[in-house]
Amino acid sequence: MDTHHYWLPVSSRGSARLIRHAFRGKRWEGRASDTSVCGVQCAMAEPSELDWFQAPTCWDCTNILIEEQERADAALE
């Protein structure tokens, strides 16, 4: 499992609205599409400042990352 992730406002299949999803890796490197942490295939493009402001955060991505961090922390105890 990659311990790094980044967030990007993207469009996903079935939704015209942008949503801020998390992706594995250190940063977006210009890929045209990728699969988010929560498993959604997303089209990717350079977001505007307004996209960052308007796009809500994906709660599925957030919860998955929290659970992964909790498991990693528990393994260290």
Query: Tens of pLDDT along the chain (77 residues)?
Result: 567 999 999 987 666 789 999 999 999 999 999 999 999 999 999 999 999 999 999 999 999 999 999 998 888 87
The model's pTM is 0.88
Q: Is the Cβ–Cβ distance between 19 and 58 less than 8 Å?
A: yes
Task: Give the single-character DSSP code of 55.
Answer: S
Q: Tell me the H-state helices in the chain.
A: 49-54, 59-76
